[in-house]
């Protein structure tokens, strides 16, 4: 057992309102720079939709992620021989148009325009060329199902759905969508790290954050191809690739990342998970049907004395172990098992988990076109959902419908339990049936409810101390600075010193 700690995340999709506050917070802090204008380290997509960059999930186009290769995994689009062949000419990269051409407006023209018969306008100018441009696409033009024939109907996940199921999703009365906020998954088996010919990418030992060393990056852009989530971006101005850094300077000072801190719906949770690094290869190369289970099994119980002992032996600080015991992520993913990884079939073992959205379950439209509450009970069963389970299973469980249904049963049970508590119109039999089906007790339902709806800042973000004082002691003799800190002068005083 090789225990390591990993900062992991849960996004609760039922709570996401698609406001893009996270994206803007991230953009303002990290990517509002020349060469990074087109990057959205955090973006929010509408599902069904093609996402950003367009069709990023289609690895037949972008050749990202890992593929099973006997007992192990190999990169789909990079690796030793493939990488060498493509090293001067990376063939599967998204082009700027696959993202979008970033633009701004000439706002000053609105103020400076001479008086005339018409309103002055601020023309759109490209942030790449600086020339006036015709805007053709934006990073979230599939938002709220807009441009549906162009975007939503081209959702890559539809390849698992029958034509009838697809059509059903676009019937006006049955139409449904949800948001999917995405950041770098800081995977346990990161394809970007595996693909880099320069060794510029690395996974931080202390918290598992995946970073690109800007000094070692030599712009091969293999990581851009290799990341199946397309969360590594090439900065055309600096000639280096960049990616989400999980706001590690904030994490090190005990703050959550900006996207999480600013989240209006409070959908985001962050905490430490302990995992067994010895299992990574086995898990990443296991059969697709077992991927989700084996992935979740790699995370260890931080209350298990054996795990604690092994963690300490590996140099994991007590504070980190304590944070892992209080981790909200551990509760969602391991205790309650209601959060699932996004596209596990890419085999990168992502550390960002999603609570799937329990899409409108309350009503549907009958064949006569009458809006119907489905059943006599307001909260209908999981099987009455509008969204095809197959669609969500292709997003979160590599096609395993039952896993999604299991999660939905639990989420549904929590709602029935809350209705029983607040409205008190649920019979005891109904409640116990729902609870039994979900395999849950009222106590757990209440815990899920509390962490979902009432959680405080400290409960949502359990950030371990970074122990930078220990880190710096490894590099420098801190005693050398004793007596040299405090107060100084920029200009020498005339007298003294």
Partner 1 sequence: MKMKLKLIGATVSIVLSGMTMNAQDGASLFKQTCSACHTIGKGKLVGPDLKGVNTKRSEAWITSFVKNAQAFGEKDADAKAMITEFGYPMPNQNVSDADIKAIIKYIGENSPTEVAQTTETAAPVVETPADPALDPANANHDDILAGLMLFSGEHRLSNKGPSCITCHNVLHGDLIAGGLLAKDLTKVYERLGAAGINGMLSAPPFPAMAASYKDSPLTEKEIFQLSAFFNDAAKNTIYQPQRTYNDNLLLYGGGVAFIIIASIILLMFIERKRKCVKEDIYKRQIKAASSK
When asked if residue 97 is in the footprint of partner 1 (CB under 8 A), the reply is yes
List C-alpha distances in Å: 343 to 9, 210, 453, 458.
15, 19, 26, 29
Site for partner 1 in 48-77 (CB under 8 A): 50, 53-55, 58, 61-62
Binder among 2, 72, 80, 91 for partner 1 (CB under 8 A): 91
Closest to partner 1 by CB, 150 or 293: 150
Q: Which helix (H) or strand (E) holds 226?
A: helix 222-226
Taking contact as CB under 8 A, which single stretch among the options 83-91, 313-321, 374-382, 467-475 is the one that binds partner 1?
83-91
Helix intervals (H) in 356-400: 389-396
- Residue nearer to partner 1 on the CB measure, 12 or 76: 76
- Please report whether residue 340 would count as binding partner 1 according to CB under 8 A: no
Site size toward partner 1 (CB under 8 A) is 23
How far apart (Å, rounded) are the C-alpha atoms in residues 462 and 251? Answer: 10
- The least distance separating partner 1 from the CB of residue 216, rounded to whole angstroms, comes to 25
Using CB under 8 A, which of 33, 34, 80, 85 touches partner 1? 85
Q: At its nearest, how many Å lie between partner 1 and the CB of residue 407?
A: 31
> CB of 142: closest distance to partner 1 in angstroms?
10
Angle (nearest 5°) at CA 16 between 12 and 21: 120
3-state secondary structure of 23: helix
Asked if 98 touches partner 1 (CB under 8 A), the answer is yes
Contact 87, 220 (CB under 8 A): yes
Q: Which stretch binds partner 1 (CB under 8 A): 39-47, 81-89, 229-237, 398-406?
A: 81-89
Give the interface segment with partner 1, choosing from 85-93, 233-241, 257-265, 332-340 (CB under 8 A).
Answer: 85-93
Instruction: Name the residue nearer to partner 1 (CB basis): 86 or 157.
Output: 86
**Identified binder of partner 1 from the candidate list 28, 69, 72, 136, rule CB under 8 A:** 136
Cβ count within 10 A of residue 283 = 22
Measured CA to CA in angstroms, residue 141 lies from 148, 264, 317 at distances of 10, 21, 45
Residue 3: closest CA among 317, 285, 256, 352:
317
Closer by beta carbon to partner 1, 22 or else 156: 156
Residue 280 CA to residue 209 CA, distance in Å, equals: 16
Angle, vertex CA 245, rays to CA 291 and CA 141, nearest 5: 75
Of the pair 143, 276, the CB lying nearest partner 1 is at: 143
Which residue, 320, 332, 291, 326, is CA-closest to 208? 320
In angstroms, the CA 42 to CA 181 distance is 7
Binding flags for partner 1, 3-42, as an x/- string (CB under 8 A): ----------------------------------------
Helical packing angle, 401-422 and 442-449, nearest 10°: 90
What's the min distance (Å) between Cβ of 436 and partner 1? 47
**Tokens for 214?**
């800007």
Residue 371 makes contact with partner 1 by CB under 8 A: no
Secondary structure letter of residue 314 according to DSSP = T
**For residues 6 and 54, which CB has a smaller minimum distance to partner 1 in the complex?**
54
Work out how close the CB of 38 gets to partner 1 at its nearest, in angstroms, rounded to a whole number: 14
Selected binder of partner 1 within 24, 67, 137, 277 (CB under 8 A): 137
Please report, as residue ranges, which positions from 140 to 159 form the binding site for partner 1 (by CB under 8 A): 147, 150-151
Per DSSP, 461 falls in state B
Structure tokens at 175: 């139409």
346: closest CA among 85, 32, 71, 56? 56
Q: In the bound complex, what is the minimum distance in angstroms from residue 136's beta carbon to partner 1?
A: 6
With binding defined as CB under 8 A, does residue 95 bind partner 1? yes
Q: How far is the CB of 238 from partner 1 (least distance, A)?
A: 24
- Check if the beta carbon of residue 71 is closer than 8 Å to that of residue 13: no
Shortest Å distance, C-beta 359 to partner 1 = 26
Element (H, E) at 250: helix 248-252
Residues contributing to the site for partner 1 (CB under 8 A): 50, 53-55, 58, 61-62, 85-86, 88-89, 91-95, 97-98, 136-137, 147, 150-151
């Amino acid at each position: 057992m090789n225990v390591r700690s990993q900062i992991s995340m849960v996004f609760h999709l039922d709570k996401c309102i698609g406001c893009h506050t996270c994206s803007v917070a991230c953009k303002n802090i990290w990517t509002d720079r020349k060469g990074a204008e087109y990057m959205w380290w955090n973006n929010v997509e509408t599902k069904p939709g093609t996402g950003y960059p367009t069709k990023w999930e289609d690895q037949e186009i972008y050749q990202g992620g890992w593929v099973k290769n006997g007992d192990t995994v190999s990169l789909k689009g990079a690796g030793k021989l493939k990488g060498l062949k493509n090293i001067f000419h990376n063939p599967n990269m998204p082009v700027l148009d696959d993202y979008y051409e970033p633009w701004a407006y000439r706002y000053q023209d609105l103020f400076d325009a001479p008086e005339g018969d018409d309103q002055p306008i601020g023309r759109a100018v490209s942030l790449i060329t600086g020339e006036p441009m015709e805007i053709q696409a934006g990073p979230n033009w599939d938002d709220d199902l807009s441009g549906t024939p162009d975007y939503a109907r081209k959702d890559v996940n539809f390849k698992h759905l029958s034509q009838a199921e697809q059509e059903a999703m676009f019937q006006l009365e049955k139409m449904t969508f949800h948001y999917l906020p995405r950041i770098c998954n800081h995977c346990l088996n990161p394809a970007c790290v595996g693909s880099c010919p320069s060794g510029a990418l690395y996974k931080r030992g202390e918290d598992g954050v995946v970073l690109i060393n800007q000094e070692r990056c030599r712009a091969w852009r293999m990581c851009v191809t290799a990341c199946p989530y397309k969360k590594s971006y090439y900065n055309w101005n600096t000639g280096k690739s960049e990616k989400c850094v999980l706001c590690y300077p904030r994490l090190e000072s005990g703050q959550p990342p900006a996207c999480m801190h600013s989240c209006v719906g409070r959908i985001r949770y962050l905490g430490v998970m302990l995992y067994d690094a010895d299992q990574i290869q086995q898990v990443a190369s296991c059969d697709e049907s077992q991927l989700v289970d084996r992935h979740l099994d790699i995370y260890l119980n931080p209350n298990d004395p054996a795990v604690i002992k092994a963690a300490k032996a590996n140099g994991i600080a007590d504070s980190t172990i304590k944070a892992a015991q209080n981790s909200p992520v551990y509760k969602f993913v391991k205790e309650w098992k209601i959060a699932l990884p996004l596209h596990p079939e890419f085999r990168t073992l992502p550390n960002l988990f999603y609570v799937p959205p329990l899409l409108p379950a309350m009503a549907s439209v009958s064949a006569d076109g009458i809006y119907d509450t489905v059943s006599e009970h307001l909260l209908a069963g999981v099987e009455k959902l509008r969204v095809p389970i197959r669609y969500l299973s292709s997003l979160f469980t590599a096609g395993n419908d039952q896993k999604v249904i299991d999660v939905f049963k639990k989420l549904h049970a929590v709602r029935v339990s809350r209705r029983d508590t607040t409205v008190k119109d649920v019979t005891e039999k109904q409640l116990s049936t729902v609870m039994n089906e979900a395999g849950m007790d009222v106590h757990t339902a209440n815990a899920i409810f509390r962490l979902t709806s009432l959680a405080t800042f400290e409960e949502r973000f359990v950030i371990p101390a970074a122990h930078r004082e220990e880190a710096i002691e490894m590099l420098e003799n801190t005693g050398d600075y004793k007596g040299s800190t405090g107060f100084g002068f920029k200009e020498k005083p005339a007298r003294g010193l």
